[in-house]
C-alpha cells in the first residue's frame, strides 16, 4: 500500500496558515476528481502558480490561492496565468466574500 501523498504546500514561510489550509482542500478536491497536482510550479510566462492541476484528459488548471481580501487586492499577477492553462480558478476560504472573485474564473470555497 502506498503512503498518502503530502497535500501541503512547501513550508517556506511565505504562506499563512489559512493559505496552506485552502491549498490542502483544493488539492484534495482535484485529487478526488482524478487530477494530479503540483505546487509552486513556474509557468512558461515566468510566473509561479500556487497549484497546477493536470487532468486525466491532459487539461491544465491553474489555481490561485487567496486567503484574504487584502491578499486578493494586492496581487494582480494572476491575470497572466490564463495564457498557461485551460481553466483558471481561485481557491478561497469560506469567510472571504466570493463576490470579489471575477465571474469568468472558477471558484473553490475551502472549509478550514
CATH number of the domain that residue 86 is part of: 3.40.1350
Give the Cβ contact number of residue 58 at 10 Å: 7
1 pLDDT band (50/70/90 cuts)?
very low
Asked whether residue 99 is domain-assigned, the answer is yes
Is 8 domain-assigned? no
The total number of structural domains in the chain stands at 1
> Is 3 among the domain residues?
no
77, part of any domain = yes
Q: Is 5 within the bounds of a domain?
A: no
- Tell me the mean pLDDT in the region 18-42: 95
Task: Print the domain residue range for 60.
Answer: 17-110
Nearest of 77, 83, 86, 70 to residue 50 by alpha carbon:
77
In a domain, 52, yes or no: yes
Pairwise pLDDT comparison (85 vs 3), residue with the higher score: 85
Is the residue at 85 inside a domain? yes
Nearest to 66 by CA among 15, 105, 5: 15
The verdict on residue 2 lying in a domain is no
Q: What is the mean pLDDT of the chain?
A: 88
Amino acid at each position: 500500500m502506498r503512503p498518502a501523498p503530502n497535500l501541503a504546500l512547501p513550508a517556506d514561510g511565505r504562506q499563512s496558515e489559512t493559505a496552506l489550509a485552502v491549498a490542502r482542500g483544493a488539492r484534495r478536491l482535484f485529487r478526488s476528481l482524478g487530477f494530479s497536482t503540483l505546487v509552486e510550479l513556474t509557468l512558461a510566462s515566468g510566473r509561479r502558480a500556487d497549484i497546477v492541476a493536470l487532468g486525466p484528459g491532459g487539461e491544465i488548471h491553474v489555481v490561485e490561492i487567496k486567503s484574504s481580501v487584502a491578499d486578493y487586492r494586492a496581487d494582480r499577477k494572476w491575470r497572466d496565468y490564463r495564457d498557461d492553462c485551460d481553466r483558471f480558478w481561485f481557491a478561497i476560504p469560506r469567510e472571504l466574500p466570493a463576490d470579489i472573485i471575477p465571474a469568468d474564473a472558477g471558484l473553490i470555497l475551502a472549509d478550514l
